Amino acid sequence: MAAIDNQPSNKSYLSPLGFRFVLNRTPNTNYFVQNVRLPTLSLGQFDLEDPFVKLPTPGTKLSYEPLDITFMVDEDMSNYLEIYDWLSGLGFPESYDQYSNFVGKNSSTSTTNSASEFSDGTLLILSSHQNVNIKVVFRDMFPISLTDLSFDSTLTDVEYLKATVTFRYMLYTIEKI
Domain boundaries along the sequence of the chain: 15-38+58-176
**Residue 142 CB neighbour total at 10 angstroms:** 18
CATH of domain 15-38+58-176: 2.30.110
**Region at 77 (left for phi over 0; alpha for psi -120 to 50; beta for the rest):** left
**Residue 67, φ and ψ in degrees, nearest 5:** -105, 125
The pLDDT score that the predictor gives to residue 72 is: 97
The pLDDT score that the predictor gives to residue 114 is: 43
Helix (H) or strand (E) holding 129: none
Q: Indicate whether this model's pTM tops 0.85.
A: no
The pLDDT score that the predictor gives to residue 108 is: 47
d(CA 31, CA 83): 14
Q: Which residues contact 166 (CB under 8 A, 6 or more apart)?
A: 66, 67, 68, 143, 144, 145, 146
The one-letter code for the residue type at 38 is L
The pLDDT score that the predictor gives to residue 106 is: 56
Pairing of strands 33-36, 54-64: unpaired
d(CA 94, CA 100): 12
d(CA 122, CA 21): 6
Helix (H) or strand (E) holding 19: strand 19-23
pLDDT by 10-residue block (mean), the chain, 177 residues? 74 89 92 95 89 88 95 96 91 71 56 67 94 95 96 92 97 95
d(CA 44, CA 68): 22
Q: What angle is formed at CA 26 by the lines to CA 129 and CA 92, rounded to 5 degrees?
A: 155
The pLDDT score that the predictor gives to residue 124 is: 97
